[in-house]
Amino acid sequence: MPSNPEEVLKDLKSGKYAPIYFLQGEEPFFIDQISDFIEKNALPEHEKGFNQIVIYGKDASVSTILNNARRFPMMADRQVVLVKEAQNISDLNKEGGYELLISYLKNPLPSTILVFAHKYKTLDGRRPLAKEMEKRAVMVKSEKIPEYKLSPWIESYIKQKGHTVDIKAAHMLAESIGNKLDVLTNEIDKMLINFTEPVKIDVNHIQQYIGISKDYNNFELTKAISFKDVLKANKIINHFSQNQKSNPLIPIISLLYLHFSRLLLVHANKTLPEREMAAKIKVSPYFVKEYLLAAKNYGLGKVIDNIGYLQEADLRSKGINANGWDESQILKELIFKIMH
């Protein structure tokens, strides 16, 4: 029973629990979100002492886990067995281990909620264990949010918290923090605790409570480059140079690489209407005009050259042909080459 995190959380919040959950994938945020909800809410507090068991994968075999899962609850209707770091179970992918687990999948104890938090990895979908999990368990694949979907995800997350956010602020958060959802949501949550009534988050709130400058950030840098505003771009990178810990080079290079990759698509699809162009380059229609203007400022040949400069800067940031330069020197040369 493959399922997405939102559907699983909706069922859990309505009190619907399944006997087995297998939570896997690269993005730990959704795995933690589901397993934490079960840990906090599946049992009343007074029942947890005897009926909630937390096991760490590196310390247990499949048989140990299943021995706990087959226990009957004590003076309660059910028990929870939560396996954290399940990717480290020594025999999970060995014949003896996965055969035991398959046997349990076919006949789970109804009074046990067995949860595997299997982070950063996925089961091999071609093997029997994954196939049986898909048929008999709630199996969630927790995937990274692609950069182009991050702003809408931020809007949705803040809406769930009872607030709204304007599109520029959401985009600013996405481009400044990136898609590490645990970091991103932590920053958003710290900001939102300052409001007792619903509020619409804007760039001023982000500057005040998160500390991302509304004038000197990745979002404003790409915008200055698009508009060929050399003065503004230089002010931003000078600010970055003075605050290198808050503005590391690698995310800036990644963002600019994505930006110019989109400009390649703009050049290849010049005749598309704006809404279709937005879908093609995977941005909000709100930002299409910026990309169309940037394509006028940077011809196809220059876009290709700039992608080459970005690849060169990426190598330098990793110490290849760096000539002893620090990140600020690499960034300054990169922006000069891009804009001239």
Percent over 90 (pLDDT), the chain: 84
Amino acid at 110: P
Number of helical H runs and strand E runs in the chain: 17, 8
Q: What is the pLDDT of residue 206?
A: 94
37 Cβ partners below 8 Å, 6+ apart? Answer: 9, 12, 13
Question: Tens digits of per-residue pLDDT, 49-59?
Answer: 999 999 999 99
Please check the confidence at residue 230 and state whether its pLDDT lies above 70: yes
Query: Please, are residues 256 and 225 in contact by the beta-carbon 8 Å criterion?
Result: yes
Query: Please, are residues 321 and 238 in contact by the beta-carbon 8 Å criterion?
Result: no
Mean confidence (pLDDT) of the chain: 93
Residue predicted with more confidence, 303 or 180: 303
pLDDT bin (cut points 50, 70, 90) of residue 178 is confident
Q: What is the pLDDT of residue 324?
A: 84
The terminus-to-terminus CA distance of the chain in angstroms comes to 54
d(CA 90, CA 216): 48
Kindly list the structural domains of the chain, giving each domain's residue range(s) and its CATH number in brackets, ordered by start: 2-141 (3.40.50.300), 145-214 (1.10.8.60), 217-340 (1.20.272.10)
Please check the confidence at residue 295 and state whether its pLDDT lies above 80: yes
| Burial of residue 310, with CB atoms counted within 10 A of its CB: 0-12 exposed, 13-18 middle, 19 or more buried | buried
d(CA 82, CA 35): 8
Question: Tens digits of per-residue pLDDT, 6-49?
Answer: 999 999 999 999 999 999 999 999 999 999 999 999 999 999 99
pLDDT bin (cut points 50, 70, 90) of residue 176 is confident
Backbone angles phi, psi at 82, to 5 degrees: -110, 120
Three-class SS state of 146: coil
Question: Tens digits of per-residue pLDDT, 314-331?
Answer: 999 988 987 888 899 999
Q: What is the pTM of this model?
A: 0.80
Antiparallel, parallel or unpaired: β 164-165 and 2-3: unpaired
Angle between helices 147-160 and 167-177 (to 10 degrees): 120
Q: What is the pLDDT of residue 21?
A: 97
Window from 45-59, 74-88, 111-125, 278-292 with minimum mean pLDDT: 278-292
Question: Tens digits of per-residue pLDDT, 246-275?
Answer: 888 998 999 999 999 999 999 999 899 999
Query: Please, are residues 129 and 246 in contact by the beta-carbon 8 Å criterion?
Result: no
pLDDT bin (cut points 50, 70, 90) of residue 2 is low
Question: For the chain, percent helix, then strand, then coil, each to nearest 5?
Answer: 60, 10, 30
Please check the confidence at residue 336 and state whether its pLDDT lies above 90: yes
Q: What is the pLDDT of residue 220?
A: 93
